[in-house]
Structure 1
Amino acid sequence: MKSIVLEKAGSADNLKLVDIAKPSIADNEVLIESKAISVNPVDAKIKYSDEGLSGLISPERPITLGWDVAGTVVAVGSKVSKFTVGDNVFGMVNFPGHGKTYAEFVAAPEAQLATIPENATFTDAAVTTLAALTALQAMKNKVKTDDRVLIHAGSGGVGHFAIQIAKKLGAYVVATSSEKNRDFILSLGADEHIDYRSQDFENVLTDIDFVFDTQGEEVAAKSLKVMRTNGNLVSIAMMEIPEILQQQAAPLNVNVEAMLVASNGDDMAFLAGLLSEGSLKPHVSSVFNFSDMAKAHAALESGRTVGKIALTF
């Protein structure tokens, strides 16, 4: 089968299209013939660091990157009960860990997958994985009806899902982006838009119950200024919360935490339900051929992507 491997840490020039054997499957796994995959900022960033590659994924070289996949089941393990050959499935595979989805065939635990709704394309399903799971896992059990929610970088891959999921949860949503993406932000259901280039959100907003930080410590610190007592701030831009930020949050009685998304089939099934009912609509800004992975990474690294980038086979 065709696979794209990273021979050594570095730029996208180190991504090579090669022929390797199809993966074997464990008793609890299915073999997916990939129809579409998605790329994420973590893919682009981690390829530059040998330490990061070994720590998050695997020390093996060459290494197959990727976690997002949508496709058709072509084989099932002996203990698989949820899926049969011919089912169309999608999911985020083995994150954190070694997903190996930059390939024509992917071995995936059945517990990490969900059935693709009939009204969703493979491309739409492939992008509604790591980014959508991140948004869902950040907000579930924290955002409730009528909460005021602030989502930073609302036009990005994670952000555009977060807006829609927050609205589904019944929240009043404020999202930041550049002015050129204002109409896109509002079309997703956001109640307010803030242009981060011309407006200081910390001087405009008050009484925010939940902040979704996708930017890092500086933005998180400013966000504390607009929050209600007993609010929650979840960051996906920091591996751990700095002590100074915890100290700033303590007098406000605001809970601040960092999170890392994790593969979860139940959460994927929830996202499948949102896709099916039309309350979650992924925005795919670019679709590349699988062999053009380097171009997909270049687009991702430009920092100008609205929504998500997909690749098809």
Structure 2
Amino acid sequence: MHTTPERAPGGAITRSQMNAVVLDRFGGVEELSQRSIPVPEVGEDDVLIRVEVAGVGSWDAEERNGEYEGAFGIASTFPYVLGWDAAGTVAAVGRNVTRFEIGDRVYAATTPVPRGGFYAEYGVVEAEYVAHLPDRLPIEQAGAMAWDALTAQSGLDLLDLRPGQTLMVFGASGGIGHMAVQLARHRGVRVLAVASGDDGVALAERLGADAVVDGRRDDVPAATSEFAPNGLDAALVTVGGDVTERALGAVKASGGIAWPNGVYPALATSPAAAVSYYDGDRSRAATDRLNAVIEAGAFRPHIAQTFPLGQAQDAHLALRDHYVGKLTLRIASDEGSS
């Protein structure tokens, strides 16, 4: 594709059109199609990112189906671009942005409404929600990191555990879960990881969990009793259901349970411990703290599979299958790659 270069705010050369995977209506995977659309406009407080890698989250399928329609208080407009997580390089900045320069390696968390997501060559995000990418973390991993890592971090902040206290991470081989295991271990917390499948157990063990149990196959309540005979201090839950509810009975009444909004099925009964429902904090302060962990070498997202942008339909089909960690899209660009 050849388009005429244009001078963007901040002095970078970009283009008026970009490749993107779009929805013209909500529905199944067949509604995802690739075509050229305008590059997003850059406001005074914005950063335009040339996207190299975008995350594919389980929530993307729900959003594709229209389940988020109206959830942001704004009517959806089409063409609609999915994608909440990305990493790439700064292509342009708004006049009020001083923290970033053209060419900086960055990652970001956004919401596709109202200005479009990251299944595209360019995405625009308020500077507050953009972070410099530490050199030690490959961009291939950073693209799927932001929302899950920040959600895991926010849950641990709510639980406020001291070193040596016990935490059960339920769903420890999934996106939020495998990042929560690493962040909790960095804080000195003892982690019981409830993972899924042999590959999930192996991942949790590799990430340093103190004990690992297969939630599909093993006796989770028995494992919790063995790990913490006097009861768990806390739990971070990334998947609900009967097994989850039985396992949460092991959390002390004085303990806490962190439950990210959007985790289903919802609790059918109330556990003895208090449940805190929450959203991830994606502010600059939060990404600064996450970057400190990355810089310490204590954190690395696991990517199960990467798809080219043109195979976004296949990526969404893969969301239905068993996998551990995260899925990503590699965004092709005729401008080269950093």
Q: Same fold (TM over 0.5)?
A: yes
Change (3 A) 1:146 1:58: farther
> 1:15, 1:208 → 2: CA distance?
44
Match for residue 295 of structure 1? 314
Show structure 1 runs of 4+ deviating over 6 A.
239-244
Q: Do the aligned partners of 1:95 and 1:263 also contact (CA within 8 Å) in 2?
A: no
Of the structure 1 ranges 74-83 and 54-63, higher mean CA displacement relative to structure 2 is found in: 54-63
Match for residue 54 of structure 1? 70
> 1:283, 1:76 → 2: CA distance?
30
Of the structure 1 ranges 87-96 and 33-42, higher mean CA displacement relative to structure 2 is found in: 87-96
Aligned pair partner of 2:175 in 135, 154, 157:
157
Aligned pair partner of 1:230 in 250, 254, 278:
254
What are the residue-to-residue correspondences of 1:241-252 with 2, within 5 Å?
245=269, 248-249=270-271, 252=272
Aligned pair partner of 2:237 in 213, 218, 228:
213
Query: 5+ residue gaps in structure 1?
Result: none
> 1:22, 1:286 → 2: CA distance?
27
Change (3 A) 1:195 1:241: closer
1:192 is aligned to 2:211: yes
Shift in Å at residue 48 of structure 1?
Answer: 1.5
Secondary structure of 1:174 counterpart: strand
Shift in Å at residue 16 of structure 1?
Answer: 1.0
What are the residue-to-residue correspondences of 1:33-48 with 2, within 5 Å?
33-48=50-65
1:204 is aligned to 2:220: no
> 1:20, 1:290 → 2: CA distance?
14
Shift in Å at residue 94 of structure 1?
Answer: 3.6
* AA aligned opposite 1:201: V
Q: Do the aligned partners of 2:50 and 2:122 also contact (CA within 8 Å) in 1?
A: yes
Of the structure 1 ranges 179-188 and 290-299, higher mean CA displacement relative to structure 2 is found in: 179-188
1:79 is aligned to 2:103: no
Match for residue 311 of structure 1? 329
1:140 is aligned to 2:157: yes
Q: Do the aligned partners of 2:167 and 2:232 also contact (CA within 8 Å) in 1?
A: yes
TM-score, length-normalised on structure 2? 0.84
* AA aligned opposite 1:221: E
* AA aligned opposite 2:254: N
- Compare the two structures and name the one with the higher helix fraction: 1
Aligned pair partner of 2:143 in 111, 119, 126:
126
Shift in Å at residue 266 of structure 1?
Answer: 2.0
Q: Do the aligned partners of 1:216 and 1:238 also contact (CA within 8 Å) in 2?
A: no
Residue-by-residue CA offset, 1:103-122 (whole Å, 9 max, x unaligned):
11111111111101112221
Aligned pair partner of 1:14 in 31, 42, 50:
31
* AA aligned opposite 2:61: A
Match for residue 121 of structure 2? 104
Match for residue 305 of structure 2? 286
* AA aligned opposite 1:88: R
Shift in Å at residue 221 of structure 1?
Answer: 2.8
RMSD: 2.2
Q: Do the aligned partners of 2:196 and 2:215 also contact (CA within 8 Å) in 1?
A: yes
**Matched residue count:** 306
Residue-by-residue CA offset, 1:221-243 (whole Å, 9 max, x unaligned):
32331011321111236579979
Match for residue 284 of structure 2? 265
> 1:138, 1:96 → 2: CA distance?
24
* AA aligned opposite 1:29: D
Q: Do the aligned partners of 2:253 and 2:274 also contact (CA within 8 Å) in 1?
A: no
> 2:156, 2:252 → 1: CA distance?
17
Secondary structure of 1:46 counterpart: helix
Change (3 A) 1:115 1:208: same
